[in-house]
Amino acid sequence: MAVKVPRSGPRAVIRALDDTVRYIANIPKIVVAFLLIAAIVNLLVGVFLRYIMIPVTDWLDVDSIPFTWVEEVGEMLLAWLTLIGAAIGVRERSHFTLRVLSFSPARQALVDKVHYTLVAIMGAIASWYGIQLCVLNHTLVTPGLSINLSLLYASAAVGGALLVVYALSMIVNPPPQTEGPH
């Protein structure tokens, strides 16, 4: 006999909240996937313009197509990819770990909490200075595309804030301890 789950009530609310949290938690991964695809396309366009279009425009004796914007776009994409990806790596525990000392599970949990506290502090510092750089450079633009430089420095603010959130989540709700590499 199947158990009926009520469509309203506490269980439905908890399930809806759980689905919402899971959706929100995947947003940085979706953003990084988009940024990675955009970076690949940007690099391919840069290679095409440099190695195919320059010889073609030279052969046709016409003005070459400017492609200085490729470097600017690539720099911004790389900054956002790196800083959001670093935060995701903290949450997924995919950063390199070298365990030289062996501790009891309770002591290792304490070491992990100290570690994630330090990561959260570094994330807060990165976020703070990223915000300061955004404010300081809000009037400056890139030379090729005239993109506001605050967009570049906002990557440090957002990546740092994500580092804080993910590190605190690892302190509050640590994953189970594993013996081997994780």
User: What is the model's pTM?
Assistant: 0.81
| CA dist., res. 133 & res. 123, Å (int) | 15
pLDDT (tens digit per residue) in 139-175 = 999 988 899 999 999 999 999 999 999 999 999 988 7
pLDDT (tens digit per residue) in 3-17 = 555 566 777 777 777
**What are the helix (H) ranges across the chain?**
10-48, 54-60, 69-92, 105-136, 150-172
